[in-house]
Chains A and B, each alone.
Chain A
Amino acid sequence: DAMVIQNPRYQVTQFGKPVTLSCSQTLNHNVMYWYQQKSSQAPKLLFHYYDKDFNNEADTPDNFQSRRPNTSFCFLDIRSPGLGDAAMYLCATRIEQGMGEQYFGPGTRLTVT
């Protein structure tokens, strides 16, 4: 029944060691989003894909990259994680721009040691 799946749910990485978080969806939605959420804050949009078109938020650090090899999968790559990148990372989908609601995955909690 899971519609937006994130793996792993918990990820521990070392300072400076690249890490990849994954998201998959069974909804066949065109739009996929990555959010960063720090403790006691609202989610902050990092970037999103509309189909294959990549849209980066202006204040997303270069350290964060994303790939969407097909409709179902989207990856978040953190090239050199710092202690400040420890957060919950949320993936979401939407059927189309300007249509419907966003569906969120359960999130991946990233710890940087």
Chain B
Amino acid sequence: GNSVTQMEGPVTLSEEAFLTINCTYTATGYPSLFWYVQYPGEGLQLLLKATKADDKGSNKGFEATYRKETTSFHLEKGSVQVSDSAVYFCALILNSGYSTLTFGKGTMLLVSP
């Protein structure tokens, strides 16, 4: 089956620090990969996506590169802000046929001033 493994949190950083949240996956077919962000009390927002190998998704200073050889999609940001504090979910969905989103367990990020 499909699965997503992401690093456990919470990840605690000071403002302007560099962020990496690791994500690896297994998939039975060809997946698209996503990072979703969830702010306290809110729904999921798509942060970025990549639909094929070597694609780089980017948004709001966050980046992630689809690495087929290492089955990874690590999230990075060069300088985090307090407002980035949230839970981040890595997820995949297959690009053909019947498929639903497979989520990682989520990583909480706490950024202090």
Contacts and interface: CB of A to CB of B under 8 A. Distances in A.
Q: Size band of the B side of the interface?
A: 20 to 34
A97 interface: yes
A101 B97 contact: no
Interface string A59-100: 000000000000000000000000000001010100001110
A43 B91 CA distance: 11
Interface residues of A, number: 22
Given A42-B105, A102-B93, A97 B44 contact: no
Contacts of A88: 43
Interface of B: 32, 34, 36, 41-46, 49, 89, 93-101, 103-106, 108
Given A97-B98, A98-B95, A98-B97, A107 B43 contact: yes
Contact of A101 (B32, B98, B104, B105): B32
Interface of A: 6, 33, 40-43, 45, 48, 88, 90, 92, 97-99, 101-107, 109
